[in-house]
């Protein structure tokens, strides 16, 4: 499928539309004495009028609708961004989150007047504990990375309470970049566990890594399951035991829970703390820096160190508890992103246990379907059956045609698809990471696979066409480094 080519509008900044004196409003004649800005605001008055756009109502309206149409989003097409779980956000979540009693609730409302909302949060916490197989939950971290930081701070506080300060955090080479970043931010030291040939973490490697450190200096292992190659870590119970025997705790990066909900629980595998990305697994919208939620679930012995406030149930009522002397403190204003909790709660209630388990089955099935469709046209990072995402490599493609992963990603835009994640994980040469999720149909997957295969074929017959893509989008290939390093975020006249 080639991208739709209906009428597309170039849209300049609104400041470049309109004309002096044009207005989108018709107000009645002024029937009170006019007052100047200087009289009204004194020294705070502007020296000259603000340079605001002067546009008619249709101009203003069309401007913003056209801008909205420039946006590629999950509501318009598949979004195969690997590691991000860009699944469809059910609209019933939005309905629930917009209920005035919930959306209008002030975060400083006394607990006694917000019992219903507190109960929803408490129920969500219990659901997440059930899904992860862990004892307690803290909802407030605002994203996966903040969940990681909170979890590692909880682990650090636990060790300190035992009178120890171990510093080393074992992190497999295939970890998400936020794992070593979190470790460094926490003032701890990341120790790399090298990637094995089959893409999994092996107990022998963990044992060797532990033995290389001073006895008693292992703070934790941070491990992602399924890992960033889309593979299920099959040795977890043994690995967790090794870490525990060395005095460390196991942090599970649960951002990929979409592959395992209702199938296996991190707590049952031996993990002590896990974060979950509600904005991935539990369908709260994400992307573009919007509000996320990265709650953590953990074993009971870590409960005294969790962030405040702690939501507790007393009989039939709920309240926030601030009296936690060993708590690491607050990690987020108020109680976290409440609107995200409502959406996730709605989704889990709508799906039920069976539904969540089926969603995971379908997420894995869809990824394996793409794996089987693409493995003859591209190198695959692993011969093992993948879980929820497929990782390709451009090794042979580049050698034989000169076409790289970035070129494939750009050419996909001409076929009407958002590009998958590129060059991650770092351990795969020219990685292209595709996560279809369970919400895509067989037809869409076939269209996507056909687009990928046609790009692989085109790379052989007309590599230049692929290397200079995109050709059908509103703008061509951008200088992405410049866009990131020198962004122009403000309009100034005469630019
Ligand atoms: C495996 C993994 N860990 C951690 C994160 C970080 O989550 P966030 O982007 O919410 O900070 C992500 C993000 O997608 C992820 O895929």
pLDDT tens, residue by residue, 128-163: 999 999 999 999 999 999 999 999 999 999 999 999
Q: Where are the beta strands (DSSP E) in 15-167?
A: 136-138
Q: What is the per-residue pLDDT across 285-331, written as a single tens digit (0 to 9) for each? A: 887 667 899 999 999 999 999 999 999 999 999 999 999 999 999 99
Could you tell me the CA-to-CA distances from 455 to 2, 28, 397, 461 in Å, in that order? 12, 61, 11, 10
Q: Are 149 and 220 in contact (CB under 8 A)?
A: no
Tokens at 403, concatenated: 């076409």
CA–CA dist 255, 79 (Å, integer)? 17
CA dihedral for 363, 375, 401, 466, sign (positive or negative): negative
Q: What is the pLDDT of residue 6?
A: 65
Residue 4 pLDDT exceeds 70 = no
Say if ligand 1 is within 6 A of residue 425 CB: no
% of the chain at pLDDT higher than 90: 84
Please tell me the distance between residue 83's alpha carbon and the centre of ligand 1 in angstroms: 7
pLDDT at position 32, please?
93
Percent of the chain with pLDDT over 70: 98
Helices (H), 186-318: 203-212, 236-245, 266-269, 278-281
Q: Is 405 in the pocket of ligand 1 (CB under 6 A)?
A: no
- By alpha-carbon position, which residue is closest to atom 2 of ligand 1? 255
- Residue pair 155/220 in contact (Cβ under 8 Å)? The answer is yes
Place 2 in a pLDDT band, splitting at 50, 70 and 90: low
Nearest atom, ligand 1, residue 84 CA:
14
Residue bearing the bigger pLDDT, 400 or 17: 400
**What spacing in Å lies between the alpha carbon of 34 and ligand 1's midpoint?**
56
Whether 195 is in the pocket of ligand 1, judged by its Cβ within 6 Å, is: no
Which pLDDT tens digit goes with each residue over 220-279?
A: 999 999 999 999 999 999 999 999 999 999 999 999 999 999 999 999 999 999 999 999
Looking at residue 491, its pLDDT comes to 81
Rounded to 5°, angle at Cα 111 from 108 and 114: 85
The pLDDT assigned to 390 comes to 96
18-68 pLDDT, tens digit per residue, is 999 999 888 899 999 999 889 999 999 988 888 889 999 999 999 999 998
Reply yes or no on whether the pLDDT at 354 is more than 80.
yes
pLDDT in tens, 172-188: 998 899 999 999 999 99
CA of 264 to the centre of ligand 1 (A): 20
In the numeric block, the tokens 């004892």 are attached to 135
Q: What is the DSSP letter of 417?
A: -
Give the model's pLDDT for residue 291. 85
What DSSP letter does each residue of 426-486 carry, written as one string? TTSTT-EEE---TTS-HHHHHHHHHHHHHHHHHHHH-HHHHHT---SSSS----HHHHHHS
Q: Is the distance from the beta carbon of residue 80 to the nearest atom of ligand 1 less than 6 Å?
A: no
* Predicted confidence (pLDDT) at residue 215 exceeds the cutoff of 60: yes
Give this prediction's pTM: 0.92
Pick the residue whose CA is nearest to atom 15 on ligand 1: 255
Residue 292: CB within 6 Å of ligand 1?
yes
Task: Report the interhelical angle of 405-414 vs 442-461 (nearest 10°).
Answer: 120
């Amino acid at each position: 499928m080639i991208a739709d080519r209906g009428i597309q509008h170039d849209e300049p900044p609104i400041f470049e539309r309109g004309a002096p004196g044009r207005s989108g409003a018709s107000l009645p004649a002024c029937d009170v004495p006019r007052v100047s800005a200087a009289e009204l605001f004194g020294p705070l008055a502007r020296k000259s009028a603000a340079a605001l756009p002067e546009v008619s109502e249709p101009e203003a309206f069309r401007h913003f609708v056209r801008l909205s149409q420039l946006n590629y989003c999950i509501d318009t097409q598949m979004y195969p961004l690997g590691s991000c779980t860009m699944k469809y956000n059910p609209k019933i979540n939005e309905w629930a989150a917009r209920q005035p009693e919930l959306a209008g609730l002030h975060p400083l409302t006394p607990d006694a007047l917000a019992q219903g909302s507190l109960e929803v949060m408490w129920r969500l916490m219990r659901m997440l504990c059930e899904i992860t197989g862990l004892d307690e939950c803290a909802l407030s971290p605002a994203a996966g990375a903040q969940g990681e930081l909170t979890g590692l701070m909880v682990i650090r506080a636990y060790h300190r309470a035992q009178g120890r300060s171990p510093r080393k955090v074992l992190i497999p080479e295939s970890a998400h970049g936020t794992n070593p970043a979190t470790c460094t931010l926490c003032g701890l030291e990341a120790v790399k566990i090298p990637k094995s040939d089959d893409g999994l973490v092996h107990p022998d490697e963990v044992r060797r890594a532990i033995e290389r450190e001073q006895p008693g200096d292992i703070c934790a292992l941070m491990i992602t399951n399924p890992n960033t190659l889309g593979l299920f870590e099959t040795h977890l119970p043994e690995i967790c035991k090794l870490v525990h025997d060395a005095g460390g705790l196991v942090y599970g990066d649960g951002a990929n829970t979409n592959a395992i909900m209702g199938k296996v629980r991190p707590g049952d595998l031996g993990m002590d703390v896990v974060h979950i990305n509600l904005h991935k697994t539990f369908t709260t919208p994400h992307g573009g820096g919007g509000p996320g939620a990265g709650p953590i679930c953990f074993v009971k012995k870590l409960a005294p160190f969790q962030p405040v406030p702690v939501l507790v149930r007393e009989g039939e009522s709920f309240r926030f508890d601030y009296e936690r002397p060993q708590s690491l403190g607050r990690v987020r204003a108020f109680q976290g992103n409440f609107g995200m909790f409502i959406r996730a709660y709605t989704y889990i209630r709508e799906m039920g246990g069976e539904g969540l388990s089926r969603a995971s089955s379908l997420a894995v099935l869809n990824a394996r379907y793409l794996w089987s469709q693409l493995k003859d046209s591209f190198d695959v990072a692993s011969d093992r059956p993948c879980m929820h995402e497929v990782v390709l490599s451009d090794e042979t493609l580049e050698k034989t045609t000169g076409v790289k992963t970035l070129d494939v990603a750009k050419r996909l835009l001409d076929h009407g698809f958002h590009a998958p994640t590129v060059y991650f994980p770092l351990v795969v040469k020219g990685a292209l990471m595709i996560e279809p999720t369970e919400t895509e149909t067989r037809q869409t997957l076939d269209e996507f696979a056909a687009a990928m295969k046609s790009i692989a074929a085109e790379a052989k017959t007309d590599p230049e066409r692929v290397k200079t893509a995109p050709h059908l989008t509103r703008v061509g290939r951008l200088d992405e480094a410049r866009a990131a390093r020198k962004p122009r975020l403000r309009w100034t006249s005469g630019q």
